[in-house]
Chains A and B, each alone.
Chain A
Amino acid sequence: MKHISRRATLASFLCSVALAGAAAPALADCGIASGRVSIVGNEFPAIKSVAAKAAECAIASVQIKANLTADHQKINLPGMQGNPAEYTTAIVATSSIVALLNGDVVRPLDDLVAQHGADIPARQLITIDGRIMAVAFMANSQHLVYRQDVLAQVGVEPPKTYEEMIEAAEKIRAAGIMQNPVGGAYAAGWNLAQEFVNMYLGQGGEFFEPGTARVAINNERGIAALETMKALSAYMNPDFLTHDSNATSAEWEAGNVALMNMWGSRTGRLMDAEGSTPEVYENTRVGAPMTVGGGSIPATTLWWDGWTVAKNISDEDALATFLAMKHGTSPALLNDKTMGEAVWMIDGYVPAEVNEGVLQTMAMGARPYPMLPYMGLLHTALGDNIADFLTGKEDAATTLADIEAAYTAAAREQGFLN
């Protein structure tokens, strides 16, 4: 996932430097004779655990190293285009695998799975056009996070729809408990675009004309999605366009907000005893994702994180990488420390209370983030233009027209449109 902001890069870089020397791997027999394994991926607790587990396979003839950074998307494609590729595996998510598929740098895994991966459950295999291109190990989504005590004070149930969320926010404001009770990662750019994607899917919208790269968001559903976002932003801190997931979490831990749509992978940190007061973390609860505009599927997207194997490497390195990553995401990974870090797809996973939101998102039939070759271009165009509507510079129809025009120019450049 890319919900870690660019601004956090420096901090996370410093952290990864500090942590690099910390874990001394116990040796495990992964059945690898020899080879080179080089991992690139995002940097958050669950992925760090996977990389550390995979590193256990290192023996004298097997070299294993990992480069985990919030900037992984800027380096994974260039790092896999060379021959031999620098990175033999990239840990990717629903959206970031697309750039690797577009660049044709990942290897189909069917033969490796057939010969060495009989013990990988079928649900973990990501197939594209019938070929296995990645092995997923965790699920993630955005869903409701709320303050039990604040909602009880104004006498409302946890909201099931965005309309109820706005009503609850009005009651909290009217009661004088909080001036701006709603939080949200609305920072202009990737985060803001993601909130539109959620809202538009919740309205039942489709981003493109089926089977083509022609964008189709300038419609009533698009306008309704923007209007709901604007209505919500009226209950947010006025600086909302600068708040990414990190800043929104900080607002939560400071006790300034009582309702928000937040990533499941971040709720663990909100509910632990660090960085906040007991009043906040003891009353923090997760709930199912909300629907919008009377829709039946929730206004959120499902994400998986998984690993790939590079195309431009020797068969020996590919096998070593496959076996090491299989070990890294095997049931042996799960223990008391790692269990709550994510909604694992691995056998033996026992859900904790903090993972309830993501599980409910799956149960409610939310749609996965679209895995389309040109979705990244639309996401960028959304992130660059929605702020003009939320700041009141232009109306919803103009903003949607701007987004379509910006996307179309970029898609023409990339050769997706004529």
Chain B
Amino acid sequence: MKHRTFLWFFLPTATAMFLFIALPVASVLVQSFYAPHEQVIREVENCTVFGCTKSTTIDQEATRALREAEPLGRFIGFGIYADRNHLAFAEVARAWRASSGWADFRGRLLNLPFYGALAFTLSYTAVVTPFSILLGFVVALAVNAIPRLMRGPMIFVSLLPMIVTPLVGALILFWMIDARGILGAALQGLAGDPGLSVKASTPLMWAALMVYGIWSTTPFAFVVYYAGLQTVPQDTLESAMIDGASRWQRIRYVLLPHLLPLTTFMALIKIMDNFRVFEPIVSFNAGAHAQSLSYFIYSDLGGETRLLTSAAATSVLTIAGVIVLLSPVLLRTWRTFGKASA
């Protein structure tokens, strides 16, 4: 393709990417460096039907002058990134000095909101990503093996978890694991403990969130693998059968190598998706047991006083986290691509 033709071909995409991806990211980055002005506070008396009370209020006239002088806010650089509610450098250093051993340091570190959330987010990503891909592969193999007539309905049923809106799907599971729900009661029966409650225990809540994650994202892996299975060359499969390869050997030496690029692609998407886990925490009311970076952004923006700088800083940290997690897969893809073109 001529450079000129390519330019015109690519221009609409490039414009859209610039407007909807690059600009917002740049805007968030800039906002994370500016915080609201220092507020001039004045003591006042407020009177309501319940009587008069001494209180404070923001002196709007005095604050307005500051605001007009610096409309973006006051520049604080990486101040918010470093503070206690984000990377907490000072607090981590203090915990390091004060702790008696690794276990103690770990406890102190996880008590800081960012690291506590990171621990859950990483565990969630590490468990849900491989399991949903593996399960999706197994379902795809199974559906591919059943008679053609049955495949349509089976595909539809297998896709249901993806069709259900995430918030609603998570709510359904939330009610099922309730102490009086079908799964919660079954667990109590199995454990022989009538007081067992999934929602009251941190490890069980983590497990429930991960089960939801696997349940809701398996269909995506299934669809991709099922499509991939349709492209497997039949000659290779048949010659393997003539050579006496078992079903397992055919999967291991024919199907898996053929589907490897798809697996890489899926790992990329899934890691990105799982790292910004959010909906199940809201639906499960799980804030007491598990928090994620996306949940922090939601809570910064949903509080009575919105913390815009904090939300911007957490967003940038989320993007940075995704880049770090994806770097091994990206490097691998880049090397493969490099080899192919060489």
Interface residues of A in 362-406 (CB under 8 A from B): 362, 367-368, 370-377, 379-380, 384, 387-388, 390-391, 394, 398, 402, 405-406
A342 sits at the interface (CB 8 A): no
Instruction: Find B303's partner among A125, A237, A362, A377 (CB 8 Å cutoff).
Output: A377
Q: How far is the CB of A111 from chain B (nearest CB, A)?
A: 18
Q: How far is the CB of B104 from chain A (nearest CB, A)?
A: 13
Interface residues of B in 44-77 (CB under 8 A from A): 44-51, 53-58, 60, 63-64, 74
Complex interface: chain A residues within 8 A of B53 (CB): 367-368, 371
Q: How far is the CB of B117 from chain A (nearest CB, A)?
A: 11
- B58 in contact with A242 (CB, 8 Å): no
- B287 in contact with A189 (CB, 8 Å): yes
A98 sits at the interface (CB 8 A): yes
Segment of A143-151, A162-170, A219-227, A409-417 in the binding face = A409-417
Q: How far is the CB of B65 from chain A (nearest CB, A)?
A: 13
Bound CA span A351–B59, Å: 39
B39 sits at the interface (CB 8 A): yes
Instruction: Find A415's partner among B36, B43, B50, B302 (CB 8 Å cutoff).
Output: B36
Bound CA span A123–B50, Å: 9
- A416 in contact with B39 (CB, 8 Å): yes
Bound CA span A49–B306, Å: 29
Q: How far is the CB of B113 from chain A (nearest CB, A)?
A: 7
Known contacts A304-B49, A413-B35: A394-B43 contact under CB 8 Å: no
Q: Binary interface profile of B, 94-123, with partner A (CB < 8 Å = 1, else 0)?
A: 000000000000000001010000000000
Complex interface: chain A residues within 8 A of B284 (CB): 242
Q: Binary interface profile of A, 121-165, with partner B (CB < 8 Å = 1, else 0)?
A: 001111111100000100100000000000000000000000000
Known contacts A242-B199, A371-B46, A402-B111: A410-B287 contact under CB 8 Å: no
- A413 in contact with B305 (CB, 8 Å): no
Q: Main SS of chain A's interface residues?
A: mixed
Chain A interface size range: 35 or more
Number of B residues with CB within 8 Å of any CB on chain A: 61
Q: How far is the CB of A101 from chain B (nearest CB, A)?
A: 6
A332 sits at the interface (CB 8 A): no
Bound CA span A283–B161, Å: 43
B307 sits at the interface (CB 8 A): yes
Instruction: Find B302's partner among A6, A123, A238, A302 (CB 8 Å cutoff).
Output: A6
11 contacts between A and B (CB under 8 A): A94-B48, A104-B63, A126-B48, A129-B46, A237-B179, A367-B53, A376-B303, A379-B304, A388-B111, A391-B288, A410-B310
By Cβ-Cβ distance, the 4 closest A-B pairs, closest first, are A376-B304, A387-B288, A188-B288, A129-B44
Binding site for A on B (CB under 8 A): 35-39, 41-51, 53-58, 60, 63-64, 74, 80, 83-85, 91, 111, 113, 167-168, 171, 178-179, 195, 197, 199-200, 202, 282-289, 299, 301-307, 309-310
